[in-house]
Structure 1
């Protein structure tokens, strides 16, 4: 089976390939086509993958190409992990937002909207190409903002595009761990949008263990989200939020923390520029360099938020990411009909009554040969429903702006978002982003 990875020169591609190397089952991936618009990055990541495959019998064959049509033909699965504008674009997203005193994070607030406005037109073009050249392929979307991009692609691919994120899985794993439960046996009652969801329960053998966690200050202080949000606030919510909700609940503190020192995008830009420059040297041990760079990247993830909350360093168990495991589990479930339950980004149907059927939501899904199907979940509490509806309205305005090229729709997207506090700020953000991103010239 052929797997195509779009954004194949991306830094995290070796995580996916490493997971594939460990899969020895029938119907496994035997060919991997890496596609990227940057041939230098493709060569660099190709060196890392070659080192990973060294000594592994029957390792999946890797090819690289800058031709999208060639990459897509014959694919059974397509992983989309593109970054339109690169890390320089992310750094610009942050700088423009912080100049206006609002959040520039790549998936949340003004930064996420700017990233979406750049990415959606490209993602829609990819979706159309997949529909034409690989109509039977399943698209697994990693591209951020994952929920927004998945919804844009779903208008052309329907249920054959599924968005994934490792945040809900990691959160459920941490909660299960502190409760002494096996994550594989736990049912995680999670619902919301990508980077905007809540764990409302964690059931083991039919019994909800979350009340025990919320009642125990010691347990709440023993894992990342408990320290990040604080025991009192989690008890007030009666739930454990996705870590990205720290940007909403502690917005002023987050903006203040991120405005001092280099932004996350600037840090990653400089770090990865060094990696890609060095890894092409034939004398550089590519895999060793990649491992060191990745360890630094993971250790500094959301560092400003943890510092603001006094949450300390990340746990060792959480430094390995995890999205590649979600991707492999999803692919195996579909390709082999190995039925499982995963938290995914899919079309809502009737899962959350506050949203329409076409809205992409992040909820538990039953996955098998016919794809991913959301399971029934309890309604969101009012405080969560309000945020979900507001952010989805902003997402829909992004989609409208990308479709029509309307500057007014782009302004509306920024102004409707809960983390942008003024229509005038929204107007200046659109102008600021158009000035630094040539790809937004379509907004008129």
Structure 2
């Protein structure tokens, strides 16, 4: 078999060693011969550290994988079979601004939802669409696997405004599979989960272990299986789960437990200990480990960064495409009628059958109102966010942010935008032109 070229845009990310580990562990079935790590000049030091660690990992594994680090994106994309995007426009400093400004205005600060996720999307979408233009020209047959958050919104922008074969991925679903496999002491292949929703807003509507429904276990907190008598609560009130008849993902806490989360974040802000501050420290610690020439494998400390097992999801997906396995994966794809209560052209996160030539979402049953209400609300916000990002229209941006369930009023949305847009001006050229 001819070797495959894999390009990682955002190659200087702290997540990259996990991806390299996955590539090494699957060399017998996935003939990746070149991994190109692309980043921007601002990330030069991190890219150099990741390049050196990646080469040490490959050398230790005795693999003939060529590692190339570069700032020349077009050269890296040319003739790639797969492109993985994991970029952060504005680096962690802008994430910190997003969180601090949001909390200061009395709304939750978070990098993928609310006002923070909104600004991250505005910064990121134009860059991602530029990457897609390069792919259309230089690697028209390549698959784009997008991990860049907010993954659902970014994927929707790509699907609406490019011709690239794009799939959005998140580690949320695979973490559920691993959690249930551990709880019931079964291999992951014996866990079957139906998801409905959009990225970071998915609900589990059915759970089967070895072919037997186990939703009741989660909804009651008890099981009749000896190994799984104590079912994890996932932090939800059981009466709430029972009336919902579904299992929310962790990101639902921002919507269902808003008062508590906001109070915690206000305390964190006073102490300069928001999640952004924590991540900056974790990143600092990780890169100190990475640059140790004695380190030749992915360190355990990476799990503290969040996003654990993302590379496992990525490599499993690439294997399914390359080997045409027709396996089911939970992915961000174009709706096309899969969830009847949402528009056809939006991005959704559901189970899909993966083939080498296409990814087909599996039809979702009718969505009940206790799920449909929030789902449609957030999806409408996402649609407007994509439109604002590609148009630079401040009016549409205001409507998008006002519509978000975590922003209580148009007045609050306008005040947030008034502060956030100038802070982000460097990364929002379309808005500058629009003015």
Alignment TM-score, normalising by the size of structure 2 = 0.91
State the aligned residue count: 418
- Per-residue deviation, residues 333-368 of structure 1 (Å, max 9, x unmatched): 111112210100000111100112211100000011
Match of 1:332 in 2: 319
1:187 deviates by: 1.9
1-structure distance, mates of 2:295, 2:428: 36
1:156 deviates by: 4.1
1-structure distance, mates of 2:416, 2:158: 25
Q: Could you tell me which of 259, 265, 271 is aligned with 1:258?
A: 265
Q: Could you tell me which of 34, 39, 50 is aligned with 1:36?
A: 39
Match of 1:415 in 2: 402
Q: Which runs of 5+ in 1 are unaligned?
A: 299-319
Q: Which moved further from structure 2: 32-41 or 143-152? A: 32-41
Q: Could you tell me which of 424, 438, 444 is aligned with 2:411?
A: 424
Distance 1:76 1:398, change over 3 A: same
Aligned-CA RMSD value: 2.1
Alignment TM-score, normalising by the size of structure 1 = 0.89
Match of 1:60 in 2: 65
1-structure distance, mates of 2:377, 2:325: 36
Match of 2:302 in 1: 294
1-structure distance, mates of 2:229, 2:412: 38
In the TM superposition, 1:104-183 aligns within 5 A as 104-158=109-163, 160-183=165-188
Distance 1:198 1:278, change over 3 A: closer
2-structure distance, mates of 1:234, 1:119: 35
- Per-residue deviation, residues 376-411 of structure 1 (Å, max 9, x unmatched): 121221121111111111111111111211111111
Q: Does 1:376 align with 2:379?
A: no
In the TM superposition, 1:21-420 aligns within 5 A as 21-37=24-40, 38-158=43-163, 160-204=165-209, 206-217=211-222, 222-223=231-232, 226-261=233-268, 262-273=273-284, 275-276=286-287, 279-280=290-291, 284-287=293-296, 291=299, 293-298=301-306, 321-420=308-407
- Per-residue deviation, residues 99-134 of structure 1 (Å, max 9, x unmatched): 111011101111111111111111111111111111
Distance 1:396 1:40, change over 3 A: same
1:220–1:231 Cα contact (<8 Å) kept: no
1:163–1:344 Cα contact (<8 Å) kept: yes
Q: Which runs of 5+ in 2 are unaligned?
A: none
Distance 1:344 1:374, change over 3 A: same
1:347–1:357 Cα contact (<8 Å) kept: yes
Q: Which moved further from structure 2: 63-72 or 178-187? A: 178-187
2:123–2:427 Cα contact (<8 Å) kept: yes
